[in-house]
Amino acid sequence: MMSEDDKLESMLADPWLAKPRTRWPLSILLVLVALFALKPIIINRLISRAEAYSSNSMFNNAERECQKAIFLDGDNARAWNILGGAYKSQGDIQNAVSTYLNAINANPANKVAHFRVAMLFVLEKDYRRAIPHFELIRILGPESPAALACDSFSYYRASLEMLSLCYEKTGKPDKIQDILKDLTRTFPGCSKDDDILQFQNAK
């Protein structure tokens, strides 16, 4: 005959949790849930470290942190961009181009990746390959005042200036007039020299 205490203990006990064969699957599930919840934090920390390494010219370390972040999230355009910058800084243009294209695949509207890969094409005098990337930035339009407050560099403005150069080099003067109209309409009073200085100082 069970006592009242035994009956209460029996009611409160969870036989499913008490079985040894179910403890490990439950523990693994809890660990996976925890890792999933922490994943964005881990990725942000890796990217922050990569940026710090890059700013101190420790490009191998930056590459390693970016590759970890990309392993966890292959669609992280920010990690791809930092990795591309590390390759470019070391003179590895081929890998830099491939990496920026991966950033664009991850986020087709990423102005940073479009601008950087287009600038690499310009440096290689491959103007025809640069034009579609500058044109896409043009289609995306000017940055908002809030965006420019965080980063004073305007990819839109610099892309318009670079487009005029690319169309000049590819023999399309009619396109240049349209570009200059967009430039003067969006940035009244701007000069060509201002834009040249701006995109030369681009990240």
**Tens digits of residue pLDDT in 60-84:** 999 999 999 999 999 999 999 999 9
**CA distances, 109 to each of 28, 43, 104 (Å):** 38, 21, 7
Q: Which residue is associated with the tokens 């800084």?
A: 89
Q: Which residue is associated with the tokens 């005042």?
A: 145
What is the pLDDT at residue 25?
A: 65
**What is the tens place of the pLDDT at every residue in 127-153?**
999 999 999 999 999 888 776 666 678
**What is the tens place of the pLDDT at every residue in 161-196?**
999 999 999 998 889 888 888 888 887 765 544 444
Q: Specify whether the CB–CB gap between 163 and 179 falls below 8 A.
A: yes
What is the pLDDT at residue 198?
A: 44
Calculate mean pLDDT across residues 52-63: 95
| Nearest one of 138, 176, 139 to 157, comparing CA atoms | 138
Which structural domains are found in the chain, ordered by start?
24-107 (1.25.40.10), 121-203 (1.25.40)
Query: Residue 28's pLDDT band (boundaries 50, 70, 90)?
Result: low
Query: Residue 36's pLDDT band (boundaries 50, 70, 90)?
Result: low
Q: At what angle do helices 20-55 and 59-72 cross, to 10 degrees?
A: 140
Record the tokens describing residue 75, joined without a space.
Answer: 């669609």
3-state secondary structure of 125: coil
Residue 111: CA count within 13 A, CB half-sphere: 19
